[in-house]
Amino acid sequence: MAWDPATPGLLRLPSGRLLRGRGLRGPLPEGQRPDFAVYLLDKPPAPVEWQTRWVRWPDFRLPRDHADTREALHEAWRRAEIETVEIACHGGRGRTGTALACIAVLDGVPAVEAVAFVRAHYNRYAVETPAQRRYVAPSAESDRAASLRPASSAGGIDYDAQSPTLPVVGYWSGFALCLHQPQDERGEDQLHGQLHLAAGDDDDVRP
């Protein structure tokens, strides 16, 4: 069962999915409990009664393992279609806002608009550092995406959030470039190779 739309801290994505963001330093809100939660912390979270996934992510910085982060956020996006999903860090703004912005891109929000989308619909102070903003969408993201977009959509990248595509997150040079790609294993491998060539290999970006 999805969240009650009146639940505080919800972000509604273009697809209609609802995710709750919150700060773990505050008390647990009354009402519905999450079915699944992703906790963005430097240390393992305290045990809870629902399913959780820990992403090691120091405060004011970026996640330590980008592949694990990609998998966790994709799982959150997927499960939010029919379950109550929570994204949380200590304060509920920087890391939580950054993760919600990446999930919004998975849902079809253009990467260059995702931070503004989360600030408008979740918390005006979400995504706190320049490095966190670049993790969602670097200044050159639109140029990179345009250079990778094929002239024909056949067998290429599909940006329509309503189409039956598999969201794939690319993460290089300290940012997440989230694209929708048809479910074709060979095509996915080819896209990843193109992204590596375009963006390089260094993924350790500090604020």
Residue 118 burial (C-beta neighbours within 10 Å; 0-12, 13-18, 19+): buried
Query: What are the structure tokens assigned to 69, written together?
Result: 């982060």
- What is the spatial distance between Cα 205 and Cα 207, in angstroms, rounded to a whole number? 7
pTM score of the predicted model = 0.70
- What is the spatial distance between Cα 127 and Cα 11, in angstroms, rounded to a whole number? 14
The set of residues, in sequence order, having a beta carbon less than 8 Å from that of 167 and lying 6+ positions away, is 74, 77, 106, 178, 179, 180, 181
- Summarised one tens digit per residue, pLDDT across range 87-139 is 999 999 999 999 999 999 999 999 889 999 999 999 999 999 998 998 898 64
Q: Are 203 and 173 in contact (CB under 8 A)?
A: yes
Does the domain at 10-199 match CATH 3.30.1330.10? Answer given as no
Across 62-197, the runs of DSSP E, i.e. the strands, are: 85-89, 166-172, 175-181
The set of residues, in sequence order, having a beta carbon less than 8 Å from that of 27 and lying 6+ positions away, is none
Q: Are 73 and 97 in contact (CB under 8 A)?
A: no
- Summarised one tens digit per residue, pLDDT across range 145-204 is 433 444 333 333 333 333 333 333 334 223 334 334 443 443 444 434 333 333 333 333
Query: What are the structure tokens assigned to 186, written together?
Result: 């060979």
- Summarised one tens digit per residue, pLDDT across range 22-51 is 999 988 888 899 999 999 999 998 889 999
Q: Are 96 and 22 in contact (CB under 8 A)?
A: yes
- Summarised one tens digit per residue, pLDDT across range 172-181 is 223 334 334 4
